[in-house]
Structure 1
């Protein structure tokens, strides 16, 4: 969905949308819903609101697929790209919620895709207490214990093991 810059008044423009997206790196199991407010301040466009969707992801510990509900707050300031090319400066930490647009329109679909990709967890967990897989046999430790025989301990550390066992008693 593209919005013409001239249609964004100083009072703002409210946009509610629901769209199905195809993203390369993330599988979405529900349409993307967004409630956005676009405001124009001089040459800048401020987009704030919330994006909601459900992503199909894989737990980084146990490798189970699960659905991750995403409620993404958004507050980004967009500047004309020509201003960035003229000034050419490095963005500081407080300027990371900055975007750029060129021409006389803003493509909301591209902006929403970008926000979803930026907010997908790097190492998603199906549960905060996920135990993962046994590194030896691959058994899902959330389901039950594995039958692996523990490796013999390094003889140099055996003294520490004995000390810890005595302490527990």
Structure 2
């Protein structure tokens, strides 16, 4: 990143960041996602600065953040429509997990992604090791290993919670 780009970005953050977040919130009608969208635009600006020189960083970030916020709104809308088609709601997520102990749910959330995935598929969705292996494109031995590691980690975490909780 050039020194000028860094100076422009520092100046933007110090002087214009709150106004741009407010502007993106106003444009998109969603103030909650505005800050995230602006931060994503800043990260994009840092990771891959525009090829041409930007004379107004605030304007550039406002446009990029607005586009990202709108994309997020569109994808959420599509998700809601998909839930409606299958006859479920976004709230069904919470009801599906209502029967789980809070400590178990917390322990599951702390598992590495692969272990969490096979654990949820096997124990919560009652899928066989063979079905999971086929769906993920890995061997049954890999699934069994991930389940073993997940059980071991869950047992240790829940035991730890019992002693401290």
Higher relative contact order (CA 8 A, sep 6+): 1
Query: TM-score by structure 2 length?
Result: 0.28
Query: TM-score by structure 1 length?
Result: 0.28
Larger Rg: 1
Higher percent of residues as strand: 1
